Structure 1
Amino acid sequence: MPNGRSSFVEDEHADRTPARDVEPFWAEEPETPVHGRVVQLPPAGVIEVEPGVFRPADDPALPPGVHLPVDPPPGRSGADSPWAQPPRRAQPAPTTPVPVRTGVHQPQPPTPPPSEDPFAELTSDETPTAEEFARRRLAKPAQQTATMGARAMLHKGTLGLVKLSPGKRELEYKQDVEMVRRNFGGLRQVTVVNPKGGAGKTVAVLLLAMTFGQKRGGYVLAWDNNETQGTLGMRAQQDFHARTVRDMMRDLHLFQGSQGRVGDLSQYVRAQGEGMFDVLASDESATAGEMLTAGAFAEIRDVVSRFYKLIFVDTGNNVRAENWQAAMDATDQLVITMSARNDSAETAARMLDHLEQGGHRRLVRQAITVVTMPPTRKDIDLPAIQQHFAARTRAVVLAPYEKLIDSGEPIRYGELSSNTRDAWLKIAAAVAEGL
């Protein structure tokens, strides 16, 4: 009976004994450790190198730094035993990949810890930046609706129901305004010349200064650099004082070094109100003292250049005068004026010969020629004048006849005809292109 009972017990547990060719139970993937729950530990002599992968302790392919688990002492096993907790798993070396056996997947690189920067996701590639916003803001959309002329009147008359694109004239007007308003990168001097009297130099200086002042918003000076008596102050609007360049020369010591402010300079220049520019007049008396020298021109230019970005210089009729030659040396853009008459054009042509012989050939080639039209085109040889100066200068433009200008009275921008203002805007754009 005992023998039978013993055999019965052995037969009862026979099906529970694992065969030798069956993989041990610890080779199966263990349960994920959960806080507060007991998990099974691999027996001694086997170590887990990664989740679900076990190797014998004597395996030479074990990575460095891996230690074997220690068997718990006798009587210390159970749910309340500290050895019942899962062992600390060793991490493979980051630079040396761990060789694995056939059938085992290569471990993936560890996932980097999440960034502690709370704004990290705001700087991703999908998030727009301030630079993108600034570029988009600077890219102005094209004007699709007319704002000038009959097209604009039709748009206004239909309460915005009819929208027409700008016409050719409006587009050219806006292009000219943008050319005049652009940044020149520093102080620029425009000099207007013609040795013949009555060639329109003073009028050109005033109208150019008015146009640039209107479109740019100030910082423009019209300077009469006549060696003796000039007329720029007579054709400009009067101010609270009648001081001239002679008075400024006498008080140049007030502007030496870092001395002198805009308020101090206003005592010598004449503000032109709506024209938004200032005038530095020359002597208006025929009994003035000595002529201006090249040194005097340089000292005055050094002072006014602190307060103005654009200077228009009116010149006299003597090309041999020191201040005339000093103005040529400081010129950035040359403007040649003449009336549509052969004598005025011939005088200007001889002056260009003089400038080219004196080393100003490049200045002549980049010059702008302005031809002032008379009340009628009868008995004028305009094609010959245009052909000659078009071959010697950069551009030839026509200034229409204006009765207000021909009257000799002070010129006010608001009293000019729209045709004259548009024509001088185009002339100003041609001048600005060379600056």
Structure 2
Amino acid sequence: MHEFTIEIVSDTAARVTGTGDELVAPAGKTIQDSIYEYSQKRAVDAGAPVEVAVHRSGRCTQVTVSPDGTATRSAPTGPIPTSTDHDGELDNAAPVAQEPVSITMDALGHTGHPAPDQAEKESGRHPTPVRRQAVSILAAPGINPGAAEPAHTGMRGRLNAALGLRLTPKRQSAEMRLRAAAATITGRVPDFATVTVANIKGGVGKTPIAVGVAQTLATHRGGASVVCADLAESAGSLADRVPVPPADGQHVFGLLAADQAATGHLRPSVLGRHLTRQPSGEDVLVGHHDTAAQRAGLGREDAAALASILAHHREILVADTGNNPLAGSWQWAVSQADALVVPVPLRRDAATTAHRMLLDLSTSHSGRLDRTVVIITDGPGDSPMVESDTVDAFIALGVQVLRMPYEPLFAGGERIVPSRLRRTTTDSLTVIAATVVDLITSTG
């Protein structure tokens, strides 16, 4: 596939890297229109789709344009370093937090004692004792997820599989970035952390994102480490989206009642009877549609009590919230969020509502936006024309912006079974989960 890069230098001008071509938007057209027309002409000349990386103000949007004029996006938008994996895969993961560290070890064998320093001999002082290693060199080496591991994807991964080679990924490849993200997810977190998924506009994909993030965290951190809970004032759709639906009695109010009846902390066995374990290892705690407590609504004290119970047994709570910012459970989830995740489809109403919500939070909860990430999601009914304004508005607030590609299971209301997710979705969720862990552990 033919690839080239275009840099937008103003609202009406752009330049094509490497060719010297200058694009100028005529009256009545935007520079994006000129880029599209230029890209389609390149595709027609090549007789095949072309891949265009459009850079502007530190952001990059990747677009594939076909000779028939079809244009599709799949790359991240926002302040995310991007590059093209020359093995043939688009690198649309996340920034590498740090370079992989390789630990080398000298060959085993007798080396003798080092000779004393000549100055020490002449002075008559005793030689400086050799400092012993804290860990025996006979210990088995640990797993190195960095460059020493052979490539599994891309051209190098295919060569490894076909020819039995052990080629390693390129340092800036998508595979290496995903390995770095996975390593971040497994890092240490505080004693108990809350990840809140919120947008007061309904139908924007809060529950799928909450389920996907919980699944990804549990996949890398291990079973019984994460709980995804429905903290909507009125029970939401969490029970209908998880792979294993809850049994009767497995809901928020049942757990709160069990805790009130217990003497001391709730035993793990009792807790387990109210949670629903999922294939990835995370637990789910859903709302309940038909109780007096539900009709009264899940309050702030209820949410706080629930978190107190879970804090004794789990590491991370992923809170799926409702649409009422006046509800006590919503206010608790947002005020206590160690990481706030805001899904935003490319629809002007959803973007506007989310932006207003964050503006309100910036005044009512100091520092909350420093722990916020906006997820731009692709789906039916999107309006790509609002993308640039949307991303610019959120970046102006100082929040991170990531991108989630279209996922049929998310959009179709199906149960979110990890094995049925597209690979691009799994990769994107890995990046999002790593960003969440970074936000949780940040000291800012």
Q: Tell me the TM-score normalized by structure 2.
A: 0.64
Q: Residues 239 and 126 of structure 1: is their aligned pair in 2 closer, same or farther, counting only changes over 3 Å?
A: same
- Cα RMSD (Å) of the superposition? 2.9
Find the counterpart in structure 1 of residue 373 from structure 2: 368
2:252 is aligned with 1:245: yes
Could you report, residue by residue, the CA deviation over 1:27-73 in whole angstroms, capped at 9, with x for unpaired residues?
xxxxxxxxxxxxxxxxxxxxxxxxxxxxxxxxxxxxxxxxxxxxxxx
What is the total number of aligned residue pairs between the two structures? 312
2:238 is aligned with 1:228: no
The Cα of 1:242 is off from its aligned counterpart by 4.8
2:410 is aligned with 1:405: yes
The Cα of 1:265 is off from its aligned counterpart by 0.8
2-structure distance, mates of 1:342, 1:220: 33
The Cα of 1:285 is off from its aligned counterpart by 4.2
1-structure distance, mates of 2:306, 2:417: 27
Find the counterpart in structure 1 of residue 209 from structure 2: 204
SS at match of 2:340: strand
The Cα of 1:294 is off from its aligned counterpart by 1.6
Picking from 382, 387, 406, the partner of 1:382 is 387
Contact residue 347 and residue 381 of structure 2 kept, 8 A: no
The Cα of 1:390 is off from its aligned counterpart by 1.2
The Cα of 1:370 is off from its aligned counterpart by 0.7
2-structure distance, mates of 1:307, 1:393: 34
Find the counterpart in structure 1 of residue 219 from structure 2: 214
2:342 is aligned with 1:336: yes
Q: What amino acid is the match of 2:157?
A: A
Contact residue 230 and residue 287 of structure 2 kept, 8 A: yes
Picking from 353, 360, 374, the partner of 1:347 is 353
Picking from 270, 275, 282, the partner of 2:276 is 270
Picking from 164, 167, 174, the partner of 1:163 is 167
Contact residue 205 and residue 314 of structure 1 kept, 8 A: yes
1-structure distance, mates of 2:288, 2:241: 13
Could you report, residue by residue, the CA deviation over 1:262-305 in whole angstroms, capped at 9, with x for unpaired residues?
221122111112x2101110123498431122222111111111
Find the counterpart in structure 2 of residue 46 from structure 1: none
1-structure distance, mates of 2:141, 2:232: 48
2:306 is aligned with 1:307: no
- Listed as ranges, the gaps of 5+ residues in structure 2 are 1-125
Q: Residues 216 and 126 of structure 1: is their aligned pair in 2 closer, same or farther, counting only changes over 3 Å?
A: same
The Cα of 1:126 is off from its aligned counterpart by 3.9
2:420 is aligned with 1:428: no
Find the counterpart in structure 2 of residue 125 from structure 1: 129
Greater per-residue strand proportion: 2
Find the counterpart in structure 2 of residue 356 from structure 1: 362
Q: Residues 357 and 257 of structure 1: is their aligned pair in 2 closer, same or farther, counting only changes over 3 Å?
A: same
Q: Residues 376 and 322 of structure 1: is their aligned pair in 2 closer, same or farther, counting only changes over 3 Å?
A: closer
The Cα of 1:131 is off from its aligned counterpart by 3.8
Q: Residues 175 and 243 of structure 1: is their aligned pair in 2 closer, same or farther, counting only changes over 3 Å?
A: same
SS at match of 1:189: strand
2:148 is aligned with 1:172: no
SS at match of 2:325: coil
Could you report, residue by residue, the CA deviation over 1:301-324 in whole angstroms, capped at 9, with x for unpaired residues?
111111110110011111111121
2-structure distance, mates of 1:134, 1:364: 48
Q: What amino acid is the match of 2:301?
A: G
The Cα of 1:347 is off from its aligned counterpart by 0.7
Contact residue 347 and residue 382 of structure 2 kept, 8 A: no
Could you report, residue by residue, the CA deviation over 1:358-391 in whole angstroms, capped at 9, with x for unpaired residues?
2x13112331001111247655411111000112
SS at match of 2:208: helix
The Cα of 1:149 is off from its aligned counterpart by 2.9
The Cα of 1:331 is off from its aligned counterpart by 1.4
The Cα of 1:346 is off from its aligned counterpart by 0.8
Q: What amino acid is the match of 1:319?
A: P
- Listed as ranges, the gaps of 5+ residues in structure 1 are 1-111, 113-123
The Cα of 1:196 is off from its aligned counterpart by 0.8
Could you report, residue by residue, the CA deviation over 1:79-111 in whole angstroms, capped at 9, with x for unpaired residues?
xxxxxxxxxxxxxxxxxxxxxxxxxxxxxxxxx
Q: Residues 125 and 132 of structure 1: is their aligned pair in 2 closer, same or farther, counting only changes over 3 Å?
A: farther
Q: Residues 172 and 248 of structure 1: is their aligned pair in 2 closer, same or farther, counting only changes over 3 Å?
A: same
